[in-house]
Amino acid sequence: MDPFTTLTGVAAPLLRANIVTDMIIPIQHLVGATRQGLGQHAFERFRDHPDWPLARAAYKGAPILLAGENFGCGSSREGAVWTLQGIGVRCVIAPSFGDIFFNNCFQNGVLPVRLPEDAIRRIAAEVEESPGNARVTVDLERQVVVTPRGEAIPFAVDARKKSALIEGLDEIALTKKRAEEIAAWQARDKQARPWAWESVAP
């Protein structure tokens, strides 16, 4: 996983609520697919529509997405994150996220930032003053989003997820350090709930 520290770039406004992961990538492209090469299918059922915000040349390859409420709800497909990465996205800013998508982002070095809707609209308005030129900075260390005009908007992030992103930590390796604790829990549970183990014993 690539570490995430700070990111400066174009922010593309996609201010619609309830963008489901089905919209980001239709499932058939994930059947037998690898993580790479999914960007070509990003939003393919929507992107040819004249009103589709990301269709504008100014927003091509934007590393930051400004989104509406409940972004990434629906299917758990992690391919939705890989697809966004495939079009260059490293950070999504939205008022709220689908729970599974939110976790999937951290697993892949993509930062999901929760900001109030009016703050996101403000950033979008500043971006739209000079589409393709205005730059937004997301500074994870300081936990601020800096708008094109220089306003610094603070955001909250979980300390555990923050350090995992900054250091690019491998969560499996971290958890494996607790192998003894896990084994002890299992031994205790086998005493307490033998039925939960015996019933599926091969």
Partner 1 sequence: MATLLDRLWDPHVVADLGEGWSLLHIDRVLLHDLSGARALTEVGEKGHAVARPDLVFATPDHAVSSAPGRTSETFAGGARPIAGLRQRAKETGVRLFDLGQPGHGIVHVMGPELGIVLPGVTLVCGDSHTCTNGGVGALAFGIGASELTHVLATQTLMQRKPRAMRLTYEGVLPKGVTAKDMILAAIGKLGTAGGTGYAVEYAGSAVRALGVEARLTLCNLSIEMGAKMGFVAPDETVFQWLAGRRFAPKGAHWDAALRDWQGLRSDVGARFDAEHAIDAATIAPQITWGTSPEQVLPVTATIPAPATPGDRAALDYMGLEPGRPIAGTKVDWVFIGSCTNSRISDLRDAAVLLRPGAKVAPGVTAWVVPGSEIVKREAEAEGLHRRFLDAGFEWREPGCALCVAANGEAVPPGARCVSTSNRNFVGRQGTGARTHLASPAMAAAAALTGAITDVRAF
| Single-letter residue type at 13 | P
Q: How many residues bind partner 1 (CB under 8 A)?
A: 56
Question: Which one of the spans 57-65, 98-106, 127-135, 141-149 is the region binding partner 1 (CB under 8 A)?
Answer: 98-106
Between the alpha carbon of residue 23 and those of residues 17, 19, 114, the distances in Å are 12, 6, 21
Q: Is 32 in the site for partner 1 (CB under 8 A)?
A: yes
Structure tokens at 8: 């400066």
Calpha distance 63→9 (Å, rounded): 6
- Residue 175 φ then ψ, to 5°: -65, -35
N-terminal to C-terminal alpha carbon distance within the chain: 36
Distance CA 66, CA 174 (A): 32
Q: Residue with structure tokens 């192998």?
A: 179
Q: Among residues 125 and 183, whose Cβ is nearest to partner 1?
A: 183
- In whole angstroms, how close is the CB of 6 to partner 1 at the nearest point? 23
The Cα angle at residue 175 between residues 173 and 176, in degrees rounded to 5: 65
- Using the rule CB under 8 A, is 143 a contact of partner 1? no
| Interface residue with partner 1, options 7, 9, 39, 46 (CB under 8 A) | 46
Find the part of the chain contacting partner 1 (CB under 8 A) among 85-93, 124-132, 143-151, 185-193. 185-193
Mask 99-138, x = binds partner 1 (CB under 8 A)? xxx-xx--xx------------------------------
SS3 100: helix
Q: Please, which residue, 154 or 194, has the CB nearer to partner 1?
A: 194
Stretch that binds partner 1, among 55-63, 84-92, 139-147, 173-181 (CB under 8 A): 173-181
- Per DSSP, what are the bridge partners of residue 137? 8, 146
Say if residue 94 is exposed, middle or buried (CB neighbours under 10 Å; 0-12, 13-18, 19+). Answer: buried
81 makes contact with partner 1 (CB under 8 A): yes
Which residues would be at the binding site for partner 1 (CB under 8 A)? 16-18, 20, 22-23, 26-28, 30-32, 45-46, 69-70, 73-78, 81, 96-101, 103-104, 107-108, 158-160, 171-172, 175-176, 178-179, 181-182, 185-186, 189, 193-196, 198-202
